[in-house]
Amino acid sequence: MKLIGDNELEWLSMGASVFGGGGGGDPHMGSLMAGHALDTGGEVPLVSLDSLDDEDLILPVAMVGAPTVMAEKFLSGDEGDRLKTAMEKALDRKISAVCCAELGGVNGVIPVMWATRIGLPIVDCDLMGRAFPELQMTTAAIAGVSINPVVITDERGNVVQFRTVSPKWAEKMVRTVVASMGAAASLCLYPMTVAQAKTATVVGSVSRAMEVGRLLLEASDDPIAALCDSVDGYPLIEGKLVDVERQTTEGFSRGSATIEGTGADSGRLLRLEFQNENLLAMEDGRVLASVPDIITAVDVHTARPIVTERLRYGQRVSVLALPCDPIWRSDKALEVVGPKVFSYDIDYVPVEELHG
């Protein structure tokens, strides 16, 4: 069993930015909240699925809403406890561990805060292995685990519980409730047993994110090469960001960035399409990588990931593509998270095949 303390939190935050693929928000606020919880509540055990009983129940948790609101009206800290109590009451069963619903951006670190405050361990898996914008885009949904019940709470103590006919309906209703709560709230969903989680989650993703984050923070020579090495990633281009276009529609930040190659990549031009997350990398009409594989832009010098809202002209970046968890690559999964879902009329080809 490992423990998550201040250092591990820092690694996790960095790793969650890498796997966030430009989305999930800047983990800074999440790290502040989780860091303060660790200082007062103590380290959190990180346990593997195998170390729990098959019948044990795990509780996937996340924050939902607008990042701008979270920067202003952040959490009271009691939300996790309320979610757990409501879920235990709804299912009439005890929860054994907290689970990260989205290992990308701010939600990669939020479960640490609630785990230490509730006094439960964190289980080493999550429902995405990256960041995605909607509730049906989970490995649990693909594996057929029910999203119900969904519990949402706000800082005031309002608790709303849903039973919906499908994850897509849950997405729709959660949005409405979150809006009325002030555009930011906390939720738990897809409660499941450890036996279910073994095939319905991205197993080992939390410890992997911590390893990757640690490597980035400690690598001295060539952090980008070290990073690619550890995540089987492909460097798509190294260059300068020469153009960023954006528009905000329906609460999503959509846009594209153009990166002009430098050094060995001189003369190349890569176009990066994003909708909160980076979704597509193209060159001369050719796809270099696409969702659900993870595309992350990192600073050329420090290898620190850059979230899409912080992309701007003049940055020196390296764009990397990381293979997603295999669970995302079935036809059924691609119907939920493939390029066509995001209005790109292309067929998904795994990044290893594009660059093999």
Distance in Å, CB of 124 to other proteins, minimum: 24
Question: Phi and psi of 63, rounded to 5°?
Answer: -100, 145
Give the one residue of 3, 6, 53, 68 binding other proteins; rule: CB under 8 A.
68
Site for other proteins, residues 139 to 168, rule: CB under 8 A: 155-157
Tokens at residue 17, please? 């930015």
Distance in Å, CB of 242 to other proteins, minimum: 7
Question: With binding defined as CB under 8 A, does residue 77 bind other proteins?
Answer: yes
Site for other proteins, residues 278 to 307, rule: CB under 8 A: none
Residue 156 or 286: the one with the smaller Cβ distance to other proteins is 156
Distance in Å, CB of 232 to other proteins, minimum: 30
Q: Are strands 57-65 and 44-47 parallel, antiparallel or unpaired?
A: unpaired
Distance in Å, CB of 95 to other proteins, minimum: 21
Residue 263 or 285: the one with the smaller Cβ distance to other proteins is 263
Q: How far apart are CA 229 and CA 324, in angstroms?
A: 15
Question: Phi and psi of 238, rounded to 5°?
Answer: -120, 130
Q: How far apart are CA 127 and CA 131, in angstroms?
A: 9
Residue 38 or 202: the one with the smaller Cβ distance to other proteins is 38
Distance in Å, CB of 5 to other proteins, minimum: 17
- E-strand spans in 154-219? 159-162, 184-188, 192-193, 202-203
∠ at Cα 258 (326, 237), nearest 5°? Answer: 55
Note whether 125 and 50 are within 8 A (CB).
no
Residue 33 or 216: the one with the smaller Cβ distance to other proteins is 33
Note whether 82 and 157 are within 8 A (CB).
yes
The CA-to-CA distance between both ends of the chain, in Å, stands at: 36
Residue 211 or 265: the one with the smaller Cβ distance to other proteins is 265
Give the one residue of 10, 43, 48, 78 binding other proteins; rule: CB under 8 A.
78
Residue 305 or 339: the one with the smaller Cβ distance to other proteins is 305
Question: With binding defined as CB under 8 A, does residue 172 bind other proteins?
Answer: no
Tokens at residue 303, please? 């290898």
Q: For residue 137, count other CB atoms closer than 10 A to its CB.
A: 24
Here's the x/- map for other proteins, 220-249, by CB under 8 A: it reads as --------------------x-x-------
Distance in Å, CB of 93 to other proteins, minimum: 27
Would you state the torsion angle of the CA atoms of residues 206, 208, 214, 217, taken in this order, to the nearest 10 degrees?
A: -100
The contact set with other proteins (CB under 8 A) reads: 29, 32-33, 36-37, 39, 66, 68-69, 71-78, 113, 155-157, 182-183, 240, 242, 260, 310, 312-314, 316
